[in-house]
Structure 1
Amino acid sequence: MSTTSKAKLPPRVTESLINRLTAMVTAGKAGEAREPFEMTETYTGDVVGYLPQSSPEDVVAAVEMARAAQKEWAARPLKDRLAVFERAHELLLTEIETLADLIQIGCGKARRMAIEEVCDTPLVIAQYLKTAAKTLKPKKRSGPMPVITSSTEEHRPKGVVAVIAPWNFPFAISMSDSTPALIAGNGVIMKPDNKTALCTLYGIELLHKAGLPRGLVQVVCGVGPDVGPTLIDNVEFVMFTGSTATGRTIGEQSGRNLIGCSLELGGKNPMIVLDDVNFDEAIPSILFAAFGNAGQICMHIERIYVQERIYDEFLRRFTAAAEELAGKMGASYDFAPEMGSLVSVDHMKRVAAHVDEAREKGATIVTGGNPRPDLGPAFFEPTVLTGVTNDMALATMETFGPVVSIYKYKTDAEAVALANDTPYGLNAAIWTGNFDRATKLAETIESGSININDGFITSYAAKGTPSGGVKQSGVGTRHGAAGLLKYTDTINVGVQKKQIMASRSSMPYEKQLKSTLVTLRLMRRLHLG
């Protein structure tokens, strides 16, 4: 065990709460006990507790327990499953402050971001409380022959689903991805990031209080190579959010196992600022799009393309806003700071390395560019660069920090070409005073989400619309009907009331063929096919 100092916790988070939560992890029960992970408070680096680590044998045991509970859960009427989430919705809102504390402990984000993260799951729950019954209801379809045949589309749970969640929005993604899987009747194996597992575990405890059967959701913890392969080998579907490199590995293994997967992966998200923009409206929104959660948002903006006529004024105003934000950074569990920490010292060093390499190769750091150890071990200033070129990692690789590059363009067509010049396609944005102009541009942008006069909130918060990436930013979507149906197998039940489809031995086949052709043409004319 480390001798690192013990953290001073916010009042709502007690040592007994942490011990209760960590005891929920399936670890050391089926396999040999492993050295626990030392959880620390991001703001100080002080220890908050020890997280058990799961072995491959623990993962297999977790799947078996979830599978046993899933059969009873799937047999329940949908209205009973939804009732659990009706109660969970209120419990999450009631416990929002404790959840925010646990989120901040693990990843160091500002209080506002932690509160907004918790709100994501009630939004998802509300959407599926409203729509799940209609989405999952069996649908009667016409059969190949009217009246005499019919076909019914059914959606049945896949079985046990793995949800592998990241550290940047550990509660929102783990809980919001699990919610539709559970509503559809599945069991869930949750694998949170070690650093941020506490908030997820508390969310599961609240689900249990709401009436979710014990055993239906299992939590395994450990580094990806230790638990990931065994997990994918034993479940029926994988939901993963994280890097493109890891997503490719998960996709390959899922493919070998002939199971489905949904992958939200990396991005190098662009924004186009047109020359008719209203600066007073745009600058605050663009500032959040770039620096919200210290830039650790999958959909945050890393590249801004500004029309040359307004470039100088935009750069001046945006830089001033970034410098003002730098004065509002802080490490506290209240709403005073507007920007918090990066998740870890290691991640801060990776962000700093991108900035340092760009500076060495000739980019200009207009503002920022430095760690802030006076605030905490992993803080990094809001950073604005110009003169970034494609030979720099900052131009093409996901930085995932409070760093944005600003570029100049001449024509709308050039802006779109620059925005699309990336292997990624997760999110993009356009700022303008002319919605018709922006809509036309949006039609040519290669991205899973496109926001007009917003960075990313509008599209992501639209829980009724599927959200995902294109190109190397992912496979599949979350939210909307598609985000529920992906956790189901689609079953086709066909009924033939009278045996007319089979070959008739009493009729020569040539005559049958003529009859079939007449029937097909008639069905087409009458729109019966």
Structure 2
Amino acid sequence: MPTDHGLLDTHSPVLPASLTADLIERLTRRVAADADATRVTTDAPYTGAPLADLPVSTPTAVEDAFARARTAQRAWAATPLRERARILLRFHDLVLARQDEALDLMQAESGKTRRDAFLEVTDIAITSRYYARGAEKLLKPKRRRGAIPVLTHTTELRHPKGVVTVISPWNYPLSMAAGDAIPALMAGNAVVQKPDTQTALTALWALDLMHEAGLPADVWQMVVGRGSSIGGALIDNADYMMFTGSTASGRRIASDAGARLIGASLELGGKNAMIVLDDADIDKAADGAVAACFPSAGQLCVSIERLYVAESIRDRFVAAFVARTEKLKLGASYDYSVDVGSLTNPSQLATVTAHVEDAAAKGATVLAGGNARPDLGPLFYEPTILTGVTPDMTVYEHETFGPVVSIYSYRDVDDAILRANATPYGLNASVWSRNGARGRAVAARVHAGTVNVNEAFAAAWGSIDAPMGGMGDSGLGRRHGADGILKYTEPQTVAHQRIQGFTPPARVSPETWAAMFTGALKLLKAARVR
């Protein structure tokens, strides 16, 4: 272990040259922690070798970060929107220009493929541009209809919440870290963020680039540590909570936020369904199923884990899907030659293995995959397709969060929708049909925050002008679109009453005034005034 606390095992042949000890040391210095903080080591999923060690933030360090953030936020909120936008647009350019560094970091920390990592780069570029160009319109003062036409001048203002806590997960370390901070910052807030320790370097890289783009010191800060240690300080000092993670953790955060009467936006678990209608193009649907089930080794909140296929085309679809799955290249590579990468941590491997073994032991059929691949690395697992899954099997209703999908057949569309909706979750879904209108009609009946027609998840996720989030146990609140930035603001109504108010003039009796007001209300209705 190097004494500078930087990158570990820098001579490992599987690590790209960009991941130098100097880079890692620079990033780790951005963690808000005490000078003598204890440290935690992360491992590279591809190999299991030590990757980096990071300072661990204490509750006191978190509180200090919030104190600095509050001071910085006052000046940041006073910064003109156009200057904030210029910083985000410079950040956009830096992310694209330095994407190879980001891709290397994401792969080293998460084990995902380069093509999956690249989607995060594009996502952050799109998000930065969208809010930089659109925030002024969304946040500017808006005239609202007054209580009394002409006499009441009413304006809606939008103020930043203050300091936002963002808790981001390991599976999409750039998208979930920077993607939620960007609109919060654009709205004039400061952010104190806890990225998952496993992928903290990627989040710290985004922070480093944002400072290079011109973000003032202390407006965006990051802490590292376990939720059991610093979670209380993150909630107790926040003016708003943004969390992406498990449903169980989301419930606790919602409860704690509710006790403090602060808002929270939560993107939680899912057991997402794909419906293949009887008129679907089988080849395109099979390609879509591969794209829906196995990106980032299935460690994607919006990936598909349940496939419902019309009985009339089931055999042909299954054959096409299995053939494509068996051709996927599984492995570790810092280029675009690999289709499916590694799982990120041992607990995910344990969950995936347990779900598949339980299903097989209870009678399910493994059509493809079904095996860990230690010959490729410690956390690799084959893309797996199951049939014959029954309600007594764990994989039937519990989120696997790995490269595992179960196929079911259905009789008619009503049956497919009923079964797709038979879950407490409601995050994402996919519908496949040659008839776009029919596909959209079915999509509208699916209980999910986003539904894609003839696409897996990228169409809805990439439509950044539209809200994205979950129903039911998949969370509350939305990211993207107007909702994605307005949730970080406090609306304020300023109503200026002119000439005459709601009390009668001095020489008008209350009875006469009430009659006059009644007549005015009737006249307004007759004139079709809202």
Specify the SS of the correspondent of 1:346: helix
Q: Give the structure 1 partner of residue 221 of structure 2.
A: 218
**CA separation in 2, counterparts of 1:40 and 1:19?**
16
Secondary structure of the residue aligned to 1:163 is strand
Alignment of 1:512-527 (within 5 A): 512-527=513-528
Query: Which residue in the other structure is 2:359 paired with?
Result: 358
Residue 467 of structure 1 aligns with which residue?
A: 468
Cα separation, 2, equivalents of 1:500 and 1:442: 50
1:130 matched residue in structure 2:
133
Opposite residue 21 of structure 2, the aligned amino acid is: E
- 1:251 aligns to 2:257 (yes or no): no
* 1:22 aligned residue: 28
Matches within 5 A, 1:439-458: 439-458=440-459
**Hey, what does 2:385 align to over in structure 1?**
384
What's the CA shift for 1:451? Answer: 0.6
CA contact 1:301–1:428 (8 Å) conserved in 2: yes
1:99-126 residue CA offsets vs partner (Å, 9 max, x unmatched): 0111011100001111111211110111
The equivalent of 1:419 in structure 2 is: 420
1:181: how far off? 0.4
Q: Which moved more, 1:34-43 or 1:467-476?
A: 34-43
Whole-angstrom distance in 1 between the partners of 2:489 and 2:325: 45
Whether 1:293 and 2:290 are equivalent positions in the alignment is no
Amino acid at match of 1:218: Q
Give distance in 2, aligned partners of 1:149 and 1:136: 22
Moved more, 153-162 or 124-133: 124-133
| 1:186 corresponding residue in structure 2 | 189
> How far apart, in 2, do the equivalents of 1:76 and 1:524 lie?
44
Partner residue, 2:348: 347
TM-score by length of 1: 0.97
Which amino acid counterpart does residue 316 of structure 1 have in structure 2? A
Match of residue 93 from structure 1: 96
Check conservation: 2:343, 2:349, Cα contact below 8 A.
yes
Q: Does 1:162 align with 2:165?
A: yes
Task: Report the more deviating stretch, 293-302 or 436-445.
Answer: 436-445
CA deviations over 1:53-110 (Å, ceiling 9, x no partner): 1111111001111111111011011001101011111000001000011101110000
CA distance in 1, matches of 2:178, 2:252: 23
Distance 1:101 1:161 in 2: 29
Report which stretch shifted further, 263-272 or 516-525. 516-525
Letter in 2 for 1:396: E
Secondary structure of residue in 2 paired with 1:468: coil
One-letter amino acid of the counterpart of residue 401, structure 1 = G
Give the aligned residue type for 1:351: V
Name the CA distance, whole Å, in 1 between partners of 2:503 and 2:16. Answer: 73
CA distance in 1, matches of 2:282, 2:204: 43
Q: What is the deviation of 1:523?
A: 1.6
User: Within 1, Cα distance between the matches of 2:495 and 2:336?
Assistant: 58
Shift in Å at residue 45 of structure 1? Answer: 1.0
- Which whole-Å CA distance do the structure 2 matches of 1:339 and 1:2 have between them? 32
Distance in 1 between residues matched to 2:506 and 2:386, nearest whole Å: 79
Is 1:272 matched up with 2:260? no
The match for 1:369 is: 370
Write the distance in 2 (CA, Å) between the matches of 1:456 and 1:278: 18
Distance 1:135 1:502 in 2: 35
CA distance in structure 2 between the aligned counterparts of 1:11 and 1:521, rounded to whole angstroms: 76
8 Å Cα contact 1:2-1:38 kept in structure 2: no
Identity across the alignment (%): 45
Could you tell me which amino acid in structure 2 is paired with residue 16 of structure 1?
D
Measured in 1, the distance between the counterparts of 2:220 and 2:154 equals 34
Matched residue type, 1:25: V
Please, which runs of 5 or more residues in structure 1 have no aligned partner? Answer: none
8 A Cα contact 1:146 1:528, kept in partner: no
Q: Equivalent residue of 2:327, what SS?
A: helix
1:264-303 CA-to-partner distances (Å, cap 9, x unmatched) read 1110000111111112222112101011111011100000
Displacement of 1:35: 2.9
Alpha-carbon deviations, 1:321-371, whole Å to 9, x = none?
11111xx11112111111100001221111111111111111111111111
Q: Distance in 2 between matches of 1:360 and 1:503?
A: 81
Which amino acid letter does the alignment assign opposite residue 443 of structure 1?
A
Shift of 1:166: 0.4
Question: Are 1:115 and 2:118 matched, yes or no?
Answer: yes
Contact 1:127 1:463 survives alignment (8 Å): yes
The answer to whether structure 1 residue 11 and structure 2 residue 17 are counterparts is: yes
Q: Which runs of 5+ in 2 are unaligned?
A: none
2:455 maps to a residue whose letter is D
Residue matched to 1:393: 394
What amino acid does structure 2 have at the position aligned with 1:439? R
Q: Tell me, what secondary structure is at the counterpart of 2:156?
A: strand
User: Which residue of structure 1 aligns with residue 286 of structure 2?
Assistant: 283
Letter in 1 for 2:17: P
> Distance in 1 between the 2:266 and 2:347 partners?
25
Counterpart-to-counterpart distance in 1, 2:153 and 2:528: 16
Q: What CA distance in whole angstroms lies between the structure 2 residues aligned with 1:223 and 1:180? A: 25
Greater CA deviation, 188-197 or 519-528? 519-528
1:129 positional shift:
2.3
8 Å contact kept, 1:26–1:62: yes
Q: 2:211 is aligned with what amino acid? A: H
Paired residue type of 1:303 = R
Mapped to 1, the partners of 2:323 and 2:167 lie a distance apart of 39
- Partner Cα separation in structure 2 for residue 526 and residue 5 of structure 1: 75
Q: Deviations over 1:457-483 (max 9, x none)?
A: 100000110111111111010000110
Residue identity opposite 1:515 in structure 2: M
The one-letter code sitting in structure 2 at the alignment partner of 1:447 is A
Q: Which residue of 1 aligns with 2:83?
A: 80
Post-superposition shift, 1:228? 1.2
Secondary structure of 2:269's match? coil
CA distance in 1 between counterparts of 2:503 and 2:514 reads 12
Q: CA RMSD in A?
A: 1.5
Q: Which residue of 2 aligns with 1:303?
A: 306
Distance across 2 between alignment mates of 1:210 and 1:174: 17
Separation (CA, whole Å) in 1 of partners of 2:100 and 2:480: 25
For 1:233, the equivalent position in structure 2 comes to 236
Counterpart code for 1:238: M
Alpha-carbon contact 1:163-1:239 (below 8 Å) kept:
yes
Deviation at 1:439, TM superposition (A): 1.9
2-structure distance, mates of 1:223, 1:306: 42
The one-character-per-residue Cα deviations of 1:382-413 (angstroms, maximum 9, x if unpaired) are: 00000111121101011000000000111111
Deviation at 1:376, TM superposition (A): 0.6
CA drift at 1:500:
2.5
Query: Which moved further from structure 2: 36-45 or 96-105?
Result: 36-45
Q: 1:330 and 2:357 equivalent?
A: no
Contact kept in structure 1, 2:427 and 2:448, CA below 8 Å: yes
TM-superposed deviation, 1:203: 0.8
Equivalent runs, 1:501-516 vs 2, <5 Å: 501-516=502-517
CA deviations on 1:184-238 (whole Å, 9 max, x unpaired) are 0000011100000001101111100110001111101111111112111101001
Helix, strand or coil: the match of 1:309? helix
